[in-house]
Structure 1
Amino acid sequence: MPEVIDVLLRREGVATFGELRAIVSGHAIRAALAGGSIRRIAKGVYALPTAPDPIAAARAQGGLVSHLSAAVLHGFDVLELPDRPQITVPRGQHRRLSPVKCELHWADNVPSDGPCTSRLQTVLDCSRTLPFAAGLSIADSALRGRVLDRSQLMVAAAELSGPGCRRARRVAAAADGRAESPLESVLRAILIEAGIIGFEPQVVVRDGTFSARIDLANSALMIALEADSFAHHGTRTALARDCRRHVSLTVRGWRLLRFSWEDVMFDREWVVAAIRAAVAGSPGHHNVRTSRPATPGAVSHGQL
Structure 2
Amino acid sequence: MSAVLDVLQRRAGTATYGELRGVVSGRAIRAALADGAIRRIAKGVYAVPPAADPLAAARSQGGVVSHLSAAILHGFSVLELPDKPQITVPRGQHRRLSPIDCDLHWADDVPSDGRCTGKLRTVLDCARTLPFAAALVVADSALRLGAVDPSQLRIGAAELTGPGSRRARRVAAAADGRAESPLESALRSVLIEAGIEGFEPQVVVRDYDFSARIDLGHPELLIALEADGFAHHGTRAALTRDCRRQVNLTIRGWRLLRFSWEDVMFDPDWVVAAIRQAIAGSPGHHNAHETAGRTLDRRALRGL
Scaled by the length of structure 2, what TM-score is found?
0.84
Aligned pair count reads 279
Give the equivalent residue in structure 1 for 2:262.
262
Please tell me the residue identity of whatever aligns with 2:163: P
Whether the 8 Å CA contact 1:3–1:261 is kept in 2: the answer is: no
Give the equivalent residue in structure 1 for 2:62.
62
Q: CA deviation at 1:35?
A: 2.3
Give the equivalent residue in structure 2 for 1:102.
102
Closer, same or farther in 2 for the Cα pair 1:41/1:286, shift >3 Å?
A: closer
Q: For 2:117 and 2:105, how far apart are their aligned partners in 1?
A: 12
Give the equivalent residue in structure 2 for 1:149.
149
Scaled by the length of structure 1, what TM-score is found?
0.84
Whether the 8 Å CA contact 1:33–1:39 is kept in 2: the answer is: no
Gaps of at least 5 residues in structure 2 are 290-304
Deviates more, 1:100-109 or 1:35-44: 35-44
Whether the 8 Å CA contact 2:76–2:141 is kept in 1: the answer is: yes
Please tell me the residue identity of whatever aligns with 1:135: A
Alignment deviations for residues 46-67 of structure 1 (CA, whole Å, 9 cap, x no partner): 6431111111111111000111
Whether the 8 Å CA contact 2:204–2:212 is kept in 1: the answer is: yes
Please tell me the residue identity of whatever aligns with 1:35: A
Alignment deviations for residues 63-83 of structure 1 (CA, whole Å, 9 cap, x no partner): 001111111222211111111
Q: Which has the higher contact order (CA 8 A, sep 6+)?
A: 1
Q: For 1:118 and 1:283, how far apart are their aligned partners in 2?
A: 48
Matches within 5 A, 1:83-162: 83-111=83-111, 114-162=114-162
Q: What is the SS of the residue equivalent to 1:240?
A: helix
Q: CA deviation at 1:38?
A: 3.8
Deviates more, 1:221-230 or 1:52-61: 52-61
Q: CA deviation at 1:100?
A: 1.6
Q: What is the SS of the residue equivalent to 1:169?
A: helix
Alignment deviations for residues 14-69 of structure 1 (CA, whole Å, 9 cap, x no partner): 89xxxx58xx5696797757524642357888643111111111111100011111
Whether the 8 Å CA contact 2:64–2:117 is kept in 1: the answer is: yes
Deviates more, 1:103-112 or 1:240-249: 103-112
Higher fraction of helix: 2
Q: CA deviation at 1:110?
A: 3.2
Deviates more, 1:109-118 or 1:132-141: 109-118
Closer, same or farther in 2 for the Cα pair 1:274/1:101, shift >3 Å?
A: same
Q: For 2:20 and 2:90, how far apart are their aligned partners in 1?
A: 47
Q: For 1:45 and 1:258, how far apart are their aligned partners in 2?
A: 25
| Alignment partner of 1:179 is 2:179 | yes
Please tell me the residue identity of whatever aligns with 1:108: D
Q: For 1:218 and 1:33, how far apart are their aligned partners in 2?
A: 43
- Which structure has the larger Rg over C-alpha atoms? 2
Alignment deviations for residues 177-204 of structure 1 (CA, whole Å, 9 cap, x no partner): 1100000000000000000000000000
